[in-house]
Amino acid sequence: MDSNGSDTVITSKIAPVTRFKSDFMICVSIGRGRHKRMIAEYEWIAQQGIKLVELRLDYLTRTVDLHRLLGDKHCEVIATCRRREDGGRWKGSEEDRLMLLRSAIASGVDYVDLEGDIAHTVPRYGRTKRIVSYHNFETTPDDLAELHSELARRDADVVKLATMANCVEDTFRMMELVKNSDVPTIGICMGDLGTPTRILQGSWGSPLTFASIDSERTMAPGQVGWKEMLRLYDADNINADTNLFGVIADPVGHSYSPLIHNAGFKHQQLNNRYLPFRVPPEDLDFFMENCQRMGIKGLSVTIPHKEEVMEYLTEIEASAHEIGAVNTIVFDGDKRRGFNTDYRAAMDCLMESVEHDASSDEPLRGKTALLLGAGGVCRAIAWGLRQRGANIIVTGRSPARAEALAASVGGNSIAWENRHDPEVDILINGTPLGMYPNLDQSPYDGRQLRAETTVFETIYNPGQTLLVKLARQKGCKIVTGVDMFIRQAAYQYKLFTGKEPPIAVMRQALARAVNPAQTWDATEAANADQDGDDEES
């Protein structure tokens, strides 16, 4: 792997004193253009209890002053100086970069990150441990095992591979590599497909994972902020006995399901974690056939998989089967059981808000409901409305889907442009119109609302959509997406754990997340601006 094709490994006469620590750590990467900003964040993050930071020397815009950076040691340090072809910002010569890495070792940093092709040119010295790494921002190579072996031969205390995930299978291949390695290995898949690999490193036997100091200021695609890593996922305490749950969707980054389920697990002191899994439609087959290898015990299912996922299940509850959509899966050995908690949650919310005859088998008889949309959530709500005797009208921007849903529940469909014509008692939005970040959109003209109408918004982010605001102005009764989201999640929680869900805790966690006043900015501590390329003072 050296420049002349030789496999020669150069080692120093000083033998390593210790191998890499066995305790799993979360390493926070810090990259700033100015020394004082990097030092401030280094000091601050150590005060938060972080035991290991990565100082990205390639981010500094002036000559690197190692004495200034490392003069006061706040916690253990990985020194990294990444070339541009490896995703870094180093602008100097390769000779100067190698000299800087050698100087960092001589300065006594705890760890140094060396790319595999140059590791043989930087001898081991003192107590500094060597992370020998490979980065690929385009793909996850087929020959992961061979790459790993080559890196390990470079006198590595730990091997690091960071590759771009282009399919779900890439993340599983990386998982198997880390689990089966005899050498301590960090195996990360970049991109949103690879987010779970960052969170689960400890449970696979990896010595550490990397997190950003701010979720809005990441150094690699898919990197997770340290607060999320520690406070949302409690990643440093995930182990081989942890029960994994998650949500599958495409996209998935907007989901608050991990927030509320993990809040419940923590409150009840359960060794469970709930993760986001982005699963593109073309990867659904592989994921469903292999997800239990990762230790997954249950899944929430959302767009676009609620209908397609049913073919992979061995058992489906009667209501979910009739609805034709599943939003919850529980794995029990060879059994894959499917449920629809959207239906239960939606009906609970509606029956609390709409006047009805509680003594009747069809308590909504005589009520007319208009569903905006024909996706999985509308299918669940339409089925519940039919069971309760309501007259159902369906409209959507896909006429064929609207017609099919209406026919399946004995209702009628109308064209999207005619949605304001019917006089309805219940208006249900099952479209994404108004969802973050498109906060200025509404699927229905507020001027057409009647005070007698109950408006049911299924979007929960934001908690107050434009439709909800317009309905309030008209004096309508309102069911928010937050109400339904918490209820359906509570039903899922009980299916996952067998325990009564801590609904108040889950609701409070969601309320904090959707409140803009709760947004955290890492620079509040360092009093720094957001530009990693700021000029040196």
Q: Which residues are catalytic?
A: 306
Residue bearing tokens 């979360």: 26
Tell me the two tokens of residue 388. 């309760």
CA angle 108, 111, 112 (to 5 degrees): 95
C-alpha span between 86 and 104 (Å, rounded): 19
Tell me the two tokens of residue 507. 């609701």
- Can you spell out the DSSP letters for 97-162? HHHHHHHHHHTT-SEEEEETTTGGGS---TT-EEEEEEEESS---TTHHHHHHHHHTTT-SEEEEE
Tell me the two tokens of residue 423. 């006089």
C-alpha span between 484 and 506 (Å, rounded): 13
Phi, psi of 73 (to 5 degrees): -90, 120
Beta bridge partners of 79: 55, 112
Phi, psi of 520 (to 5 degrees): -105, 140
CB of 53 within 8 A of CB of 32? no
Residue type for 148, please? H
C-alpha span between 521 and 233 (Å, rounded): 19
C-alpha span between 22 and 230 (Å, rounded): 19
Tell me the two tokens of residue 118. 């140059």
